[in-house]
Amino acid sequence: MGRRKPDSRSAKPDRSRLERRRLTVGVLCFLWFGFIAARLYYFQVIKYVELLGRAQRQQQHTIEVAPERGVIYDRQMNPLAMSLGVDSVFAVPSELTEPQMVASLLAPVLKVDEDELRNRFQTMHSFCWVKRRVTPQEASRVRDLNLKGVYFQRETKRFYPKGDLAAQAIGYVGLDDKGLGGIEYALNGAITGKPGRVLLATDARRRTFHSTEWAGVPGKNAVLTIDEKIQYIAEKALAEEVATAHAAGGVAIVQNPNTGEILALANEPTFNPNDFDAGSAASHLDRAVGWVYMPGSIFKIITVAAALEEHLTTPQEMIDCQGGKIVLAGHTIHDAEPNYVLSVTDMLARSSDVGTIKLALRLGDDRLYRYIRAFGIGSKTGVELPGEERGLLQPPSRWSGISIGEMSIGQEAAVTPLQMVTMYSAIANGGILFEPRIVHDVFLGSHHDALPPAAGHRALSAHTAETMRQILTTVVDSGTGKAAQLGGYTSAGKTGTAQKIDANGLYNHSLHIGSFIGFAPATHPAVTILVVIDSPVGAYYGAEVAAPVFRTIAEQTLSYLNIPQDNPSRWPHTVSPKPVKPPDQKQDDFLGTLPSDRESFGAATPSVQPASFSTRPTPVVPPQAAPYDGDVSSSTVVLGDGPLVTVPDFSGWATRRVAQECEKLGLDLNVVGSGLAVGQNPAAGLKVPSGTRIYVRMARQ
């Protein structure tokens, strides 16, 4: 079999078929690539914007990060108000497949009205709140439902860890985290920060794999001049007296007379800012600045001080009090008891209206008015608290014939309690009327806002102030203010009792305001204290209802401040330990909110469950609690028995180093902020007992 010669006729069709096939494949490839290119062009150019938007909507979420509201501290850097993150539930109705069913599922879990929720889903399209600031338990249960179109937004909630302590001064915030009262309102602009934003990229399972953050500005922190211990002392003493006297309310203020700083500002009735809706309108009123009342006899010191300053009298001058009766412009004014010839000192000690009016007449309308104004009556004190009243003070041109008499004994002028404290502080500090302050510092990290320095002006000469101080000491030693005598300390002050004016503008003979205001120690005043009891039932004189409260507050405060006793020989009242009784209802309620029975609010961290500050569950008293039955009357309390250590200068130190040093020295460290130390209290170099709490403020440099 020989080699077959290729057939030229059959080779030709093979080649042409091959070429056709190549052509077909080429055309198909071209069409394929052309189709892909066309689709690419369509998606990447024509539909680019729309598709990009859809992709971003699906993969990226921008959420607004609520700014953290600044912390409010007391002067010892104990937090009085702080914010925590909590969940809020919202829905995108357009994404809800079955809004009716979603509403019926969410309503019982979140305890909201189902019909209202359904209505919201129908009327709104892209966003609606389901419930804001839910509890961790509620959030967890909603998460378990795994509903499409239902989301969570992180928000902050304000907590007041001390409950009703200084409630009127601190204030409270509304649902939108805006301050609605007190310092929360007054410093809202500074305390509220600016919100930040976070862009989240999520996968199909909605897990975040990338985030870009635009940081907001956190709110500034505020340090008040209030001391929580003194505040508690004042509130407790005031609340007990208001309850005992069945009074409508009361106010107590403690001020440092040398700087004008308010150390305590107690109001009764009061409220819990964690649940401010539950409080009455009366309890929200800050009586210290927002309540005007007729001060009564505590106002008399203006007349006496003015007469002394104008050299119209001397403390020793004898004044005829006319048996306790004087007629002025046809009206007869009586002393509480018949008084005859008294020295100016005794006249004030016995609170003679007649003697005071006689001094006022020597001064005349204009001079008396000028001194009243010089003591700040009739104008706002300038304290940082909102809602401050000016008081009521008519100019002499509008006075009647009896006005000078009424004014001099504190019946025709109306003042705020804070004006009175400021006035007595001026006597205590040597004649300077300081603007009262309640904000000590506003800071963020190491940056401190420049606060105006406490302004003051001289209202009295130092000599007159000293004379008045001695007269007021006599009032306590031998006058109407004996109930304000302190154990171990000298004190000075004045009682006051005024009738209230009824709705018809007439003096009501059954409604009174009893007050006492004074300072201690009288020789080196460290605190000025005002106590006002509104409408007490039964005993109503300031000496009976207010002076004992002054004594309680003053003794405990001076002891707490470690003020040396200047009169250790005087122990006016013996120790009579009260039998231990169960805590009152308010205390019970508060105890119940503490960790033993508290509400969890940390789904992510169930083991950490801070106290709930709004609910008041049943108190838990451990069964082993047994009252101490020892004899306390003969006990002696020895303070400062431990070794003294020198406080180091922590400036620029890291937290770890500060902690190590404090541990070494046996100091109780309390760190505020993070970064390097920028401030401390007590200051470096001071000798303090081992175990003293040291506050160190840290900030990033």
Partner 1 sequence: MKHIDNSRLVREVDVERRRECFSLLGLGVLVFLFVLLFAWQHFQCVRYGYQVEQLKAEYAILEEQNHQFRLEQAALADPKRIDTLARAQLGMVSPAPQQVIRVGGVEPAANALESPELARNFSVGSGDIPHEP
| Binding positions for partner 1, 339-398, rule CB under 8 A | none
Find the distance separating the first CA and the last CA of the chain, reported in whole Å. Answer: 102
Residue with tokens 């010089």: 374
**32-40, 121-129, 189-197, 524-532 -> range binding partner 1 (CB under 8 A):** 524-532
The residue (of 79 and 617) whose beta carbon lies closer to partner 1 is 79
| Cβ at position 102, least distance to partner 1 in Å | 27
Of 45, 209, 281, 397, the residue at the interface with partner 1 (CB under 8 A) is 209
The residue (of 488 and 536) whose beta carbon lies closer to partner 1 is 488
| Binding positions for partner 1, 288-317, rule CB under 8 A | none
**89-97, 125-133, 141-149, 595-603 -> range binding partner 1 (CB under 8 A):** 595-603
Of 453, 505, 506, 509, the residue at the interface with partner 1 (CB under 8 A) is 453
Q: Is 675 a residue that touches partner 1 (CB under 8 A)? A: no
Q: Is 688 a residue that touches partner 1 (CB under 8 A)? A: yes
Strand partners, 320: 341
534: part of which helix (H) or strand (E)? strand 527-534
Report the C-alpha gap between 688 and 492 in whole angstroms: 31
Of 118, 236, 300, 350, the residue at the interface with partner 1 (CB under 8 A) is 236
Q: Is 625 a residue that touches partner 1 (CB under 8 A)? A: yes
The residue (of 142 and 234) whose beta carbon lies closer to partner 1 is 234
The residue (of 140 and 556) whose beta carbon lies closer to partner 1 is 556
What is the sign, positive or negative, of the torsion defined by CA atoms of 590, 591, 597, 600?
A: positive
Planar angle of CA 501, 307, 512, nearest 5 degrees: 20
**Residue 478 Cα distances to 56, 475, 483, 496, 549, angstroms:** 83, 6, 10, 16, 19
600 burial level (CB within 10 Å; 0-12, 13-18, 19+): middle
Q: Is 615 a residue that touches partner 1 (CB under 8 A)? A: no
CB 288 within 8 A of CB 380: no
318: part of which helix (H) or strand (E)? strand 318-320
| Cβ at position 602, least distance to partner 1 in Å | 6
| Site track for partner 1 across 473-512, x = CB under 8 A | -------------xxxx-----------------------
Query: What are the contacts of 179-183 at 24+ separation with CB within 8 A?
Result: 180/276, 181/276, 181/284, 181/286, 181/386, 182/286, 182/385, 182/386, 183/72, 183/222, 183/224, 183/384, 183/385, 183/438, 183/439
| Cβ at position 632, least distance to partner 1 in Å | 5
Q: Is 524 a residue that touches partner 1 (CB under 8 A)? A: yes
**5-13, 139-147, 307-315, 449-457 -> range binding partner 1 (CB under 8 A):** 449-457
| Cβ at position 98, least distance to partner 1 in Å | 31
| Binding positions for partner 1, 636-655, rule CB under 8 A | 636-641, 644
Strand partners, 343: 318
Report the C-alpha gap between 302 and 419 in whole angstroms: 13
Q: Is 250 a residue that touches partner 1 (CB under 8 A)? A: no
| Binding positions for partner 1, 105-144, rule CB under 8 A | none
Q: Is 454 a residue that touches partner 1 (CB under 8 A)? A: yes
| Site track for partner 1 across 554-593, x = CB under 8 A | -xx--x-xxxxx--x--x-xxx-xx-x-xx---x--xx-x
Tokens of residue 124, six digits: 């709104």
| Site track for partner 1 across 216-235, x = CB under 8 A | -------x-x-xxx-xx---
Strand partners, 520: 527
Number of residues that bind partner 1 (CB under 8 A): 117
Of 75, 350, 512, 616, the residue at the interface with partner 1 (CB under 8 A) is 75
Of 59, 60, 76, 614, the residue at the interface with partner 1 (CB under 8 A) is 76
Q: Is 157 a residue that touches partner 1 (CB under 8 A)? A: no
301: part of which helix (H) or strand (E)? helix 300-309
CB 72 within 8 A of CB 224: yes
CA nearest neighbour of 440 among 17, 56, 173, 77: 77
Tokens of residue 606, six digits: 């169930």
